[in-house]
A and B are shown apart, each in its own frame.
Chain A
Amino acid sequence: MAKTLAQKVWEDHLVRRVAGEPDLLYIDLHLVHEVTSPQAFEGLRLTGRSVRRPDLTIATEDHNTPTTDIDKPIADLVSRTQIETLRKNCAEFGVRLHSLGDANQGIVHVVGPQLGLTQPGMTVVCGDSHTSTHGAFGALAFGIGTSEVEHVLATQTLPLQPFKTMAVTINGALPVGVTSKDIILTVIAQIGTAGGQGYVIEYRGDTVRALSMEARMTICNMSIEAGARAGMISPDETTFAYLKDKPHAPMGADWEAAISYWNTLQSDADAVFDNEVVIDATSLSPFVTWGTNPGQGAPLSANVPDPEQIEDLESRGAATRALTYMGLTAGTPLRKIKVDTVFLGSCTNGRIEDLRAAATIIKGHKVASEVTMLVVPGSAKVRLQAESEGLDKIFLEAGAEWRQAGCSMCLGMNPDQLKPGERSASTSNRNFEGRQGVGGRTHLVSPLVAAATAIRGTLSSPADLLEV
């Protein structure tokens, strides 16, 4: 029977299949961070269980960590306790940990790929919904809760009901200034925040084939914002070239064996998807959100929508509520919206290519006087790479702040937060109420839009910089 990529990876990890019970799936890689793991380790302790495969587990500190003064103890005592708990747990259970200050510390979804631990055809889980990022390699990767974290620590498996599969096919050349962030924001606006519910999305088409690994990770990362548990892209030469010589990539005969397996990881030509969506890349433009869920977005050239024009009553109510929270008036051109803060970073857009893209735009310009721009590399390694390329100087000379690696302002958990009423253009993934700090207002944007917005002070694309 013809199979999709997701079905192939699923079946290659079946430990046990019995009618009337969930499938038992083997987990190849378990990523751990400080927020969703303490209760799981405590559960192991209470039941006298151990970590079955510490050698398939890796931890990093990212959500709570400050992005300044990282050589000093974390000022927030509760955050410090959570970090120290992770350190104690990893030491007790023999789990590899990259702590603050370590060259491999960073956001868990940036660290896995850069170490070469994320590879095609693997099952990857983490107590974090953006685990879908790793699907860019053709892995089946999805977020889990703390009960499941404990389950994977104890058994290296998970009982799961099979997902449905959805194909999102994107064809055509992307117009200048349009990035993979614009693609995924468009997809979410089109299918809605529940459109992918119950599905694994496979992104296909020649547009996707032409994207770098970093750009593919951005797309897969936000699959969860469309309600899908996972997003996948079948591996190809771009994937193999990225992995080659990464620290944990296979070597020698193992590399050859891996390549021949990885080449089988394509959906069969006659595979049937449960749902299909087609996007014409040539019609896309820079895309931003105006509301309080990632599906409430529009092209940057559009106006803030008028809820009265929305037919569906539920969506109309949600839009009305969102505009009140966001402090926006229907009909205002999105380009006229002023921001206080620009955040460049996160597991969505905190990789080296994102920093390079933004630096290209910002070079020789100044951040607008009323705007604060935070540039936060996704990992310590990304920061070092960027510094070796001089990107830090470009951002600093423009008046931006150059920070240490972590989740930073993506979520209001560490010192980097918006104040009530403040508005941001953010390359992160969620514009929920209060996501970046109580009362904060978030517009999700691409790194290019973030850079142009920092310069002009209003939501802007690089093309707007040409108008004098």
Chain B
Amino acid sequence: MEKFTSHTGTALPLRRSNVDTDQIIPAVYLKRVTRTGFEDGLFAAWRKDPEFVLNNPAYSGASILVAGIDFGTGSSREHAVWALQNYGFKAVLSSRFADIFRGNSLKAGLLTVILPQENIESIWAGIESDPSLAVTVDLVARQVRWGSESAFFEIDEYTRWRLLEGLDDIGLTLRHVAAVDTFEKGRPNFKPKTLPAKI
């Protein structure tokens, strides 16, 4: 995974709440067997509307998405994270994320930052009056900066360290393979196995 330390870019305001992962990428776009190429599916239904903010040329090249509350509800499809990344987003800001989406994003290296709604409103106001306004998401300082304003955000220390170092979660767990071996020896016999198959 790519390291994430600090990112500065322009930001796109998505003034909608409860954006579910079916909106982020509809199911019909989930058929690829790679991790790339999902950008065409990003907000596919909404993008058909010329007025949709993603179609506004003023925000082309934006790399930070500033979304309404409860972003990423619904389906566990990690394709939603990949679609955002494939399109060019490095970070998403919202006052609340759905659990599975947040977990997926932090595994895949898309930084999801929780800020109070008043900060989100302030950033929206800033980038709507000046779409070229630079926004910085600084994981080292745990801070978002825009215009003359800034706000600190919380993120658990372990996840932050993993993102800063760009570490592979599986590699980290495999360091503890002896503990897994030990645990398996103590598992009860009555726990089911899928093999050999019984039908």
Contact = CB atoms under 8 A, between A and B. Distances in A.
A378 to B, nearest CB: 17
B58 interface: no
A119 B192 contact: yes
A64 B16 CA distance: 30
A67 to B, nearest CB: 15
A116 B192 CA distance: 8
Interface string B67-111: 011100111111101000000000000001011100110011000
Given A39-B34, A82-B33, A155-B174, A144 B193 contact: no
B173 A157 contact: yes
B17 interface: yes
Contact of B190 (A47, A49, A55, A255): A255
Interface string B9-43: 00000001110101100111011111100000000
A35 B170 contact: no
Given A21-B158, A147-B108, A58 B169 contact: no
Contact of A49 (B18, B23, B75, B170): B170
A322 to B, nearest CB: 10
Interface string B165-181: 00001101110110110
A188 B5 CA distance: 38
Contacts of B184: 26, 156
A161 B157 CA distance: 12
Contact of A146 (B26, B28, B78): B78
Interface in A62-92: 63-64, 76, 78-79, 81-82, 85
B57 interface: no
B148 interface: no
B18 A293 contact: yes
Interface in B140-199: 156-158, 169-170, 172-174, 176-177, 179-180, 183-184, 187-195, 197-199
A57 B195 CA distance: 8
Nearest to A44: B170
B31 A81 contact: yes
Interface centre among B16, B27, B96, by most A CB within 10 Å?
A: B27
B45 interface: yes
A258 B190 contact: yes
A364 interface: no
B107 A148 contact: yes
A156 B177 CA distance: 10
Interface stretch (A191-199, A213-221, A281-289, A456-464): A191-199
A249 B199 CA distance: 11
Contacts of B191: 28, 119, 122
Given A157-B180, A293-B73, A434-B45, A29 B192 contact: yes
Interface in A224-282: 224-225, 227, 229, 247-250, 254-255, 257-258, 261
B22 A20 contact: no
A318 B170 contact: no
A26 B187 CA distance: 10
A147 B190 contact: no
A225 B98 CA distance: 10
A42 interface: yes
Interface centre among B75, B100, B199, by most A CB within 10 Å?
A: B75
A129 B175 CA distance: 29
Interface residues of B, number: 61
A93 to B, nearest CB: 12
Query: How big is the A interface, by class?
Result: 35 or more
A434 B74 CA distance: 13
A113 to B, nearest CB: 12
Interface string A122-166: 100001110000000000000111111011001111010100000
Contacts of B79: 146
A443 interface: no
A127 B195 CA distance: 20
A129 B180 contact: no
Contact of A229 (B77, B99, B172, B199): B99
A28 B69 CA distance: 34
A384 interface: no
Nearest to B177: A155
A20 B158 contact: yes
A36 B78 contact: yes
A24 interface: yes
A93 B150 CA distance: 49
A148 B190 contact: no
A26 B74 contact: no
Contacts of A224: 74, 100
Contacts of B73: 193-194, 227, 293
A173 interface: no
Given A20-B158, A38-B34, A85-B33, 13 more contacts: A38-B33, A39-B33, A128-B75, A156-B184, A157-B173, A193-B73, A229-B99, A293-B18, A314-B69, A432-B22, A433-B22, A438-B26, A439-B45
20 contacts: A26-B180, A47-B170, A55-B193, A82-B33, A128-B75, A145-B78, A147-B108, A154-B170, A157-B173, A159-B173, A194-B73, A224-B100, A227-B70, A227-B99, A248-B198, A254-B189, A257-B188, A412-B27, A430-B22, A438-B45
Interface of A: 15-16, 20-22, 24, 26, 28-29, 35-36, 38-39, 42, 47, 49, 52, 54-58, 63-64, 76, 78-79, 81-82, 85, 96, 103-104, 115-117, 119, 122, 127-129, 143-148, 150-151, 154-157, 159, 161, 193-194, 197-198, 224-225, 227, 229, 247-250, 254-255, 257-258, 261, 293, 314, 317-318, 321, 411-413, 430, 432-435, 438-439
